[in-house]
């Protein structure tokens, strides 16, 4: 199924599973044409089928965000094909956990390269067609680790803290062009990445979360859907934490 001329075009990276897949579904329910992007085409096609079966429209683009040249070209091609580019959700990311005294340069650089530099590249490419269309939404998925830190995740926390600074700068630079930029910072959310955590870590998470449960991917997606909506036109440069109260003052 292809987009109509009136539909907003949204790209979601890391859309093959978990939070990214639920974000894509939520945007499709809003009536957006969603471009699903990740490395695994088979899983992307599963999400695509779920969206179209529910009456939405979507397309699949296989792209590795760590290939920054290919990432920029993918965004340029999407904008050229659809004659517009409206919503960018940077969700793809990795972890390479280790205590800082044991963390290698490679582990640090891999996470920064994937989680932060790729977002810079994607935003730079997407902002040009957004400016031409005089409308845009940039939503970057960070983490509470970027706000309060997390033992064993110096690289990951640094990348997500960097996302917050990057997003606030974009918000200030592009506000006059009717383009908003915001961050959603999830707390511990039930995905296949958290399912494999040691039991003692899971127990600590529940103790540290006032709501005493993990978040659900659909709850993160709902926050993104709001920030991508027409109703969020006066919301920019914000960090929306969806964390069960973990970071409340």
Q: What is the dihedral of CA 69, 161, 15, 228, to 10 degrees?
A: -100
**CATH at residue 102:** 3.40.50.720
Which pLDDT belongs to residue 155? Answer: 98
Domain count for the chain: 1
Which pLDDT belongs to residue 199? Answer: 83
Q: Is residue 195 part of a domain?
A: no
Full-model pTM: 0.95
Q: Is residue 229 part of a domain?
A: yes
32 neighbors 228 (Cβ within 8 angstroms): yes
Enumerate the active-site residues.
Answer: 156
Which pLDDT belongs to residue 1? Answer: 60
Which pLDDT belongs to residue 203? Answer: 84
Q: Is residue 243 part of a domain?
A: no
Which pLDDT belongs to residue 200? Answer: 79
d(Cα 228, Cα 23) in Å, to the nearest integer? 10
Q: Is residue 196 part of a domain?
A: no
Could you say which residues of the chain have pLDDT below 50? none
d(Cα 107, Cα 238) in Å, to the nearest integer? 29
Which pLDDT belongs to residue 249? Answer: 59
- Domain ranges, residue 56: 9-189+217-234
Q: Is residue 201 part of a domain?
A: no
Q: Which residue has the tokens 């699949």?
A: 60
Q: Is residue 225 part of a domain?
A: yes
Which pLDDT belongs to residue 165? Answer: 98
User: In Å, how far from its chain's centre is CA 103?
Assistant: 25
Q: Is residue 244 part of a domain?
A: no
Which pLDDT belongs to residue 94? Answer: 95
d(Cα 110, Cα 121) in Å, to the nearest integer? 15
Which pLDDT belongs to residue 191? Answer: 84
């Amino acid at each position: 199924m292809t987009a109509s001329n009136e539909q907003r075009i949204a790209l979601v990276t890391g859309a093959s599973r978990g939070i990214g897949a639920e974000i894509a579904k939520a945007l499709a329910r809003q009536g957006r044409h969603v471009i699903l992007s990740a490395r695994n085409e088979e899983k992307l096609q599963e999400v695509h089928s779920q969206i179209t079966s529910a009456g939405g429209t979507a397309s699949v683009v296989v792209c590795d965000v760590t290939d920054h040249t290919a990432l920029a070209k993918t965004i340029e091609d999407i904008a050229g094909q659809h004659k517009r580019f409206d919503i960018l959700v940077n969700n793809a990311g990795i972890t390479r956990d280790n205590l800082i005294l044991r963390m290698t340069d490679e582990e640090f650089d891999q996470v920064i390269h994937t989680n932060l530099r790729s977002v810079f590249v994607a935003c730079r490419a997407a902002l040009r067609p957004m400016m031409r269309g005089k409308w845009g939404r940039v939503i970057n998925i960070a983490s509470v680790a970027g706000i309060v830190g997390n033992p064993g995740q110096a690289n990951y926390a640094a990348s997500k803290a960097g996302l917050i600074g990057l997003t606030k700068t974009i918000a200030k630079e592009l506000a006059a062009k009717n383009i908003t930029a915001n961050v959603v910072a999830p707390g511990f959310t039930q995905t296949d990445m958290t399912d494999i955590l040691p039991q003692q870590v899971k127990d600590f998470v529940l103790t540290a979360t006032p709501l005493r449960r993990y978040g659900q991917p659909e709850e993160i997606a709902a926050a993104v859907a709001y920030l991508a909506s027409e109703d969020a036109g006066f919301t920019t440069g914000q960090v929306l934490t969806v964390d069960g109260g973990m970071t409340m003052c």
